[in-house]
Amino acid sequence: MQNNDIDKLSKIIAKLPALGTRSARRIVLHLLKKKDTDMVTLISALQNVRDNIKKCAVCGNYDTNDICAVCADASRDKEVVCVVQDVADLWAMERVGLYRGSYHVLGGILSALDGITPEDLNIESLFVRINQEKIKEVILALPATIDGQITAHYLLSRLKELPLKITTLAQGIPVGAELDYMDDGTIQLALSARKEL
C-alpha cells in the first residue's frame, strides 16, 4: 500500500543510470526525511541545470552559454582538437588539467550491435570544423574497446586524406596497476610498444 506519488518517484529514480529499485527506495526515503533541506536543494539544482545549461554549438560540451568556456577561452590552442565519445570523457580530460587544446564530442561511438552509424554521431561537424578552422592536429581519445577502436579507424580513414597530424592516446599498463591483475591483451600491447630507457 505504497503511496502513488512516492511510487512514481521511486520508479523514475530507479531508471537512472547506476540505480535500481532498492537504491531508488533508499534515496526516496532519504529525501522524504529531509523534505525541507536536501529535497529543496536537489529540486532547485535540477531546475537550474534544466533552465541554464546548453550544448556548445562548436564542440558539443555542456555549459551556460552557446559557446562553452573551453571553446570561448582565447588562451587555449585552437589548432589541436581532441575527439571524445562523450561529455563525461571531456570532463575527465579537464579534471587532469594538462590538455590546453579544444574538443569535439561525438555523442557516442559506432556500434553494429546498437545500429549506430556515422550519421548518428557528430562526425560531419568535425570535418566542417577542420575545413573552417586552422586545425593542425586531431587527437583520437576514444575508448580502448572494440567499438571505440572501430570508430577511431573509421575517423582515421577519412582524416588521413587531409593535411593533418593524427594522434591517439598511448595504450599500456595503467599507473599503479599490478601485472598479475592485467589482462593478456594489455600486457601483449605494453610489451610490443616497450620504450627504451
| Interface positions with a copy of itself (CB under 8 A) | 1-6, 8-9, 12-13, 15-19, 23, 25-32, 35, 38-43, 45-50, 52-53, 62-64, 69-70, 73, 86-88, 91, 94
Q: Which of 93, 92, 119, 91 is closest to 106 using CA atoms?
A: 119
User: Rounded to whole angstroms, how far apart are CA atoms 148 and 170?
Assistant: 14
Residue 38 or residue 165: which is nearer to a copy of itself going by CB? 38
Residue 25: which H helix or E strand, with range?
Answer: helix 21-33
Residue 31 or residue 138: which is nearer to a copy of itself going by CB? 31
Residue 6 or residue 150: which is nearer to a copy of itself going by CB? 6
User: Rounded to whole angstroms, how far apart are CA atoms 2 and 70?
Assistant: 47
User: Which residues, in sequence order, are CB contacts of 62 under 8 Å at separation 6+?
Assistant: 53, 54, 55, 56, 68, 87
Smallest separation (angstroms) from a copy of itself to the CB of 81:
16
Residue 4 or residue 132: which is nearer to a copy of itself going by CB? 4
Smallest separation (angstroms) from a copy of itself to the CB of 109:
15
Cα 8 to chain centroid, rounded: 30
Smallest separation (angstroms) from a copy of itself to the CB of 164:
25
Smallest separation (angstroms) from a copy of itself to the CB of 66:
13
Smallest separation (angstroms) from a copy of itself to the CB of 131:
26
User: Rounded to whole angstroms, how far apart are CA atoms 171 and 55?
Assistant: 30
Residue 163 or residue 174: which is nearer to a copy of itself going by CB? 174
Smallest separation (angstroms) from a copy of itself to the CB of 195:
31
Query: C-alpha cell of 59?
Result: 564542440
Residue 96 or residue 179: which is nearer to a copy of itself going by CB? 96
Backbone phi and psi for residue 130, each to the nearest 5 degrees, phi listed first: -65, -35
Q: What size, in residues, is the chain?
A: 197
SS3 63: strand
